[in-house]
Every structure is written in structure tokens, then in C-alpha cells.
Chain A
């Protein structure tokens, strides 16, 4: 009689297989490596970008060079005068911008200059920078803006 009663072994709790966890993580790492940009420069000016609707995405990131315009971030969390920053260095004299940009233009003729100006800036500074860019021959520019979240 005993052979009719088979001990049913209790099935152990099914565990989620952890074997593929590293694969998933590596996938995520590769995604981040591809889509993000390593922060190379600390921006010393505040750039609260204006909002706009007619936005175009810059396709080739390697062609971009940034010009930051905005109030200087001072030590005690205060804001100072409007300043221009290109690649880690604050620009003392506006006339030096054309040489800096011309050098970049020689390296990359298809350069796109992304102007990251704070929305509270005045056009005087932006116009000066634009004139310098015209002198240097770097005519392709892009005014960095945030998307407008309007209805």
C-alpha cells in the first residue's frame, strides 16, 4: 500500500534568476555612456536659458563649442556682473573672442557655436559676441533654449 502514497516534496520557492543581472547593468552603462556628455568645464556664470518653441536639436555634438553669457556666480552664492565664458576661461577683453573662435574654426570648419546666454542678459553683450563671431568666420550659431511648456 505504501507505494501508492508518494511523498510529495514541497516545491521550493521559485527565485528570480539573478544570473543576467550584470548584463542588464552593463546595458544601462552603455546607454549612459552613449547619451550623456562628460562635464568638462565648470560654468562660472549663471545660465538660466530662455524658453522657445522653434527649437531644433543639434545633431552632431562634436561640432559644438559653447559660449556662456550670464551673471557671474560669486563665492557667497551671489550674482555679479554679466560675464562671458568660453571653455573654462572667463573672457576679460571682448576683442580676444575672435582669435579664440578663429582657432576653433581652423580645427573644425563646420563649427556650430552654441550661445548659452542667461535670459536676464542684455543684447549689448550678445551683440558684441556675435560681431566677434562674424569676424572669426564662425557663422553657424544656435541660441540655447528650453522647450516652452505652453498649451
Chain B
């Protein structure tokens, strides 16, 4: 009788063997490593000018308010029709924007200062980016100086501040507007 009352050890608590969990995880990881790419999404941001209608004229700009930069087919830079080295661009853009009417050859006010960039069809893209880079760096440096004047450690600090406090307006960029005009291309001859 004692044999019948022997408690059957219920082996119903069958466990899923978790020993291979790590293997499965490794496999999934290798899959993702192989199929995905960490895309480099850095670059120079620009806003193109809107398309002009047929009979619309571009808005008039005084000669002095526009800093003309032309890059020709050989990759040479002409700053205000003078051949120039690329590193000079940064200083000239800053001088032009911060002029505030002092020098009659440069801009009247900060809000009217425009930098015009024109290229030929055979201009190397590399040179165009180099020049555009210099122009943007000039603005970055001006914004940085303005942020320090306002009491921040730099422009990045100011940006972090407005992002954290959800402030819509970027005062520095409103004051020193980055007005880079990509000139209308020559009509096909």
C-alpha cells in the first residue's frame, strides 16, 4: 500500500533551457551589425532661394551691401573681382557684416549685409564647399563672439540654453543673419 502512496514527483515544471539565450542574442547582434550602417549625417546646411517667377526681378541690392565671391572654372577665387586666397574669405565676410556703414565699400548695416557666391559650371565641387565652409565659419565665429558678449561661454552654450528652455527665437542669428545668396546660374548658351 505504501507503494501506491508514493508521491509521484511531478516533473511538470519543465524549464526551457536558457543556456543558449546568449547564443541567440549574439546572432541577433551580428545580424544588426552586418546589415546596418551608421550614416554620417553631418554637412553644411543651406536654404536655397525660392524660384523666381517669369517676370519677377530679383530684389534690388546696393552694390556695397553685397560681398561678391566668384569661383571660376580653374578653382580660383575672386573676392570683389580681386583674385584672393581662400583663407582671406573668413576675415572679409566678418569685416563686411560687422561694418555697420563705416567703410563705404562694405555693408551699411548687419541686416543688409549679403554674401553672394557664384560658380561656373566647371568649378570643382570641392572648391565650392571649401569657400562655402569659410563663409559659414565666419558666421559661426561672429555668433560665438556675440554669445560671449552676451555672457555665455560660446555659441554652443547659447544654443543649448535656448533649446532647453524652448525659446523659439534665436536672438544671435536674428541679429547677425547668415545671408548667403547663391547667385542665379548663367543661362545655358
Residues of A within 8 A of B33 (CB): 32
Give the interface SS of chain A, mostly helix, strand, loop or mixed: mixed
| Total count of chain B residues near the partner, CB < 8 A | 46
B126-A124 in contact (CB<8A): no
Partner of B29, one of A29, A53, A123, A127: A29
| Total count of chain A residues near the partner, CB < 8 A | 52
Question: Nearest residue in B to A66 (C-beta to C-beta)?
Answer: B39
- With an 8 A cutoff between CB atoms, is B10 at the interface? no
* Bound Cα distance A58, B44 (Å): 10
B46-A141 in contact (CB<8A): yes
B125-A135 in contact (CB<8A): no
Q: Please encode chain A, from 18 to 41, with 1 for each CB lying within 8 Å of some chain B CB and 0 for all others.
A: 100110011011001101111100
Partner of A145, one of B44, B49, B121, B123: B44
At the interface with chain B, which of A9-17, A71-79, A113-121? A113-121
At the interface with chain A, which of B19-27, B77-85, B107-115, B168-176? B19-27
- With an 8 A cutoff between CB atoms, is A97 at the interface? no
Partner of A32, one of B29, B46, B126: B29
B45-A56 in contact (CB<8A): yes
Most chain B C-beta atoms within 10 Å of own C-beta, residue among A26, A52, A117, A120 = A52
* Bound Cα distance A31, B47 (Å): 33
Residues of A within 8 A of B126 (CB): 50, 119-120
| Given known contacts A28-B29, A37-B39, A143 and B46 CB-to-CB distance under 8 angstroms | yes
Return B45 CB to nearest CB of chain A, in Å: 5
Partner of B124, one of A38, A123, A142: A123
B37-A143 in contact (CB<8A): no
Give the interface SS of chain B, mostly helix, strand, loop or mixed: mixed
Residues of A within 8 A of B185 (CB): 127, 131
Question: Nearest residue in A to B41 (C-beta to C-beta)?
Answer: A58
A55-B51 in contact (CB<8A): no
Most chain B C-beta atoms within 10 Å of own C-beta, residue among A122, A135, A139 = A122
Residues of A within 8 A of B22 (CB): 18, 21-22, 25
B50-A144 in contact (CB<8A): no
B48-A36 in contact (CB<8A): no
What would 16 more interface pairs be, CB under 8 Å, given A28-B29, A123-B122, A140-B45? A25-B26, A36-B36, A36-B39, A37-B38, A50-B126, A54-B132, A56-B45, A117-B125, A118-B125, A120-B125, A123-B124, A126-B125, A141-B48, A142-B44, A143-B129, A145-B43
7 interchain residue pairs of minimum CB distance? A54-B136, A124-B121, A25-B25, A36-B36, A123-B123, A55-B42, A52-B133
Return 16 A-B CB contacts under 8 Å, by A number.
A21-B25, A22-B18, A22-B24, A32-B36, A33-B32, A52-B129, A52-B130, A56-B44, A61-B41, A123-B123, A140-B47, A141-B46, A141-B48, A144-B41, A145-B43, A146-B40
- Report B's interface with A, CB cutoff 8 A: 18, 21-22, 24-26, 28-29, 32-33, 35-51, 119-126, 128-130, 132-133, 136-137, 139-140, 182, 185
